[in-house]
Amino acid sequence: MRWIPWFALAALGAGFAAWLAAILEPVAGLLPQCAFKHLTGLACPTCGMTRCLEALGRWDWPAAFHWHPAVAACAALVPALALWDLRRAWRGDRYPRLPDAPAARVVLWLILLGVWVLQAARGI
């Protein structure tokens, strides 16, 4: 299993999803509204992801950052991650374990909550 570049394969899948989103953009208006936003009036943490994906499919990076900064930032990091994963798989190294430090978990929680607050405050 360690010789399979899982993240690089996932990056290919994500690229395909962005390409597909751009193709399907004309029918995006048929998609129902986010159920969470519909019920509460507030954006959910993932609100803006579809529009961000469509923008990425058009290679429109400013729009992608506008709709969902976290997803656009992750997308920008995908090539680097894919290269690192290909190198890891080539060398047959295991994936590193997730850090056990509580601080790492707290930082990720704060980032996730921060993104949610940002999306809700902007009314995305």
Q: Which amino acid is at 94?
A: R
Q: Minimum distance between the CB of residue 76 and other proteins, rounded to whole angstroms?
A: 19
Q: Which two tokens stand for residue 80?
A: 């680097």
Distance of CA 115 to the CA centre of its chain: 12
What contacts 53, CB < 8 A, 6 or more positions away? 17, 18, 21, 71
**53 burial via Cβ count (<10 Å: 0-12, 13-18, 19+):** buried
Q: Which is nearer to other proteins, 35 or 41 (by Cβ)?
A: 35
With CB under 8 A as the contact rule, the residue among 105, 110, 117, 123 that binds other proteins is 105
Q: Could you say whether residue 15 binds other proteins (CB under 8 A)?
A: no
Residue window 46-85: x/- pattern of binding to other proteins, with contact defined by CB under 8 A: xx-xx-----------------------------------
Q: Which residues bind other proteins (CB under 8 A)?
A: 6, 26-27, 29-32, 34-36, 44-47, 49-50, 95, 97-98, 100, 102, 105, 108-109, 112
